[in-house]
Amino acid sequence: MRKNLVKEKLKREEAVIGAAITIPSPDIAEMLSNLGFDWLFIDMEHAPLDVKDVQLILQVIESSDVTPIVRVPWNDPVVIKRALDVGAMGIIVPWVNSREEAEMAVKACKYPPKGIRGCGPRRAAKYGLETLSYLKSADEEIVVVVQIETVKAVESIKEILSVDGVDATFVGPMDLSASLGHLGNPDHPEVKEAIRTIIKAHSGTKVAPGIASSLGKVEEHLRMGFKFLNVTSDCDLITRGGREVVEYVKEVMSKLT
């Protein structure tokens, strides 16, 4: 198993940026893998991606330096195992609200005696060609990220951060705003205060704080101390780029008529 460059950078407290893959297209994933992102976030939670799509995406980005991380649909050891076995180098687990749930996420990502991951890495171990070396390195190289997106998670943040094996957190501002009663308004003062509470709780820990950010928010989040940042997605890049083209061409057309 190759070195997980994102995990190494996070240990050095360096910031890393990622982009979400939500479209089941190997071509789009391959394009994104060559743009210089530190990691790509393959989303099985909110996007129509199953394990076959994930494997195809992992195969086409294999030649790049990008670290492939999969957000699984739930804190389910079976789904986590399958994502890892097809070659994910990190897992984002949604809806982690307690120490117990964080422990369950970590155990699902690690082999015994540290965890409960079943032993059959298949593609991750080059289809059996590198099984022993993979088994020796997987626990150390795979990055485990737990998502903080509810009031309960904020209240339990110190307990969650105390779990050995949690490498990073990932704040979901939209879900957090919904949980706080401000659906669709991640800029509400109460949501911002909750995010400040989360970032403060990381002080003195070895866990890297992360967040679902954006181009408009990334400077603010970096200044706050976030290190693991998702800054865009395939859909965002296509729609934003397409809108800019249409608006520019229509502006030119209006000047000529």
d(C-alpha 16, C-alpha 85), whole Å:
24
Least Cα distance to 61 among 46, 39, 82 occurs for: 39
d(C-alpha 163, C-alpha 36), whole Å:
31
Contacts of 36 (CB under 8 A, 6+ apart): none
d(C-alpha 74, C-alpha 83), whole Å:
12
Contacts of 139 (CB under 8 A, 6+ apart): 110, 111, 114, 115
Please count the residues of the chain: 257
Asked about 46 being catalytic, the answer comes back as yes
For residue 104, give Cα distances in angstroms to 218, 219, 221: 31, 33, 28
**Active-site entry in 46, 182, 188, 202:** 46
For residue 126, give Cα distances in angstroms to 30, 53, 131, 191: 20, 18, 7, 44
Active site residues: 46
